[in-house]
Structure 1
């Protein structure tokens, strides 16, 4: 009889522990979902702020000289760097940095073009498997980043 009582007590304890584990998992999933929603909201807001900063600047394609285009590219890069510091996802931040670095190289080429008449070309960064970094960023970034990303990916426009 004592064995049955102990067995029943262990069964009740196991059942309660299992129930608590399920409740804990559900609570963790809710916390993760809330955190993901907050992250998306913050990134959406950061993208909108980036777009506002870019809209205050002269687009590089609207300039008339290589020096002015280089300055416009650098100004846009400064605006983008503010956004990059707010991106928590390391992979996404690295992609944005690659894009800004490629634009920096282009601005340096424009400076050289002004002095030597050697044409400068923007070379869009690519992933290890050959896909455009801008395309990868478009897939992984919030919808609000689509406009700024298109603008930054084409500094000649």
Structure 2
């Protein structure tokens, strides 16, 4: 072998120049057969600057390794056609036609997923609001029950305190009456009238402490009838006209003393029976 450099022009066309992969025509690409993507026929491109179409200047397909493919490549120093650049993905080319079907399916699925997410968010928000309302209602109900129980307890406590106070008032009335001489112990009608009025004065103290209107009305009727009997005793002492005691009665023609025993505390039963018979 000689040491002189070898001229590529001296070799045969079939063996001298082989196509280089990096200089292959970018406009000629094998179809994409990736799984899952639809195969789409190559669309024609138009150069916005007024260039030729994709197939302009390359009407015949070239096969790698042929002399025409090797001779027409960018290795000769010639500038590729504008249509070739547009078909190779350059920014100057404009693709004519609709988006691929798989792209439309992906876009539709994205919108559907967004709607589903919004629905789930609204559903979760509704459940949260409902749960919050239920908790608030339960808390309000619990507070209402606690308030009702507290009110019942307070009412019961107040009623118990009132009953104890009325019992004490009745006991005090009985003690005041015991310090007085009974009307039946007087020897004359005038002395009996004085004893009746003294007892009425002791009872009026108790009537002023009563808060029940019905009980107050019954006690006043009893005091009025006793006062009328005391006036009759005074007339008897002067004119010797007999005096008679008429006990008060209610609308049912029942003695008022029975009503007082019923509506008054138990310690007041003794004083009522004593006052209902002023002759004793």
Indicate the TM-score class for this superposition, using the shorter chain for normalisation. Answer: over 0.9
Q: CA deviation at 1:89?
A: 1.4
| Aligned counterpart, 2:198 | 75
Q: Distance in 2 between matches of 1:90 and 1:14?
A: 42
Comparing 141-150 and 4-13, the one that deviates more: 4-13
| Aligned counterpart, 1:65 | 188
Is 1:150 paired with 2:273?
Answer: yes
Is 1:140 paired with 2:263?
Answer: yes
Identify the structure with bigger relative contact order (alpha carbons < 8 Å, sequence gap 6+): 1
Q: Distance in 2 between matches of 1:39 and 1:47?
A: 12
| Aligned counterpart, 2:145 | 22
> Which runs of structure 2 are paired with 1:1-157 in the superposition (5 Å)?
1=123, 2-157=125-280
Q: Distance in 2 between matches of 1:61 and 1:155?
A: 7
Higher fraction of helix: 1
Larger radius of gyration: 2
Comparing 87-96 and 48-57, the one that deviates more: 87-96
Q: Distance in 2 between matches of 1:102 and 1:21?
A: 51
Give per-residue Cα distances to partners, 1:107-138, cap 9 Å, x unaligned.
11111121222211111111111121110111
Instruction: Give the secondary structure class of the aligned counterpart of 1:118.
Output: coil
Comparing 25-34 and 2-11, the one that deviates more: 2-11
Show structure 1 runs of 4+ deviating over 6 A.
none
Q: Which runs of 5+ in 2 are unaligned?
A: 1-122
Instruction: Give the secondary structure class of the aligned counterpart of 2:208.
Output: helix
Q: CA deviation at 1:4?
A: 2.0
Instruction: Give the secondary structure class of the aligned counterpart of 1:126.
Output: coil
Q: Distance in 2 between matches of 1:52 and 1:42?
A: 15
**Aligned Cα RMSD in Å?**
1.0
Q: Distance in 1 between matches of 2:246 and 2:129?
A: 73
Could you tell me the TM-score, scaled by structure 1's length? 0.95
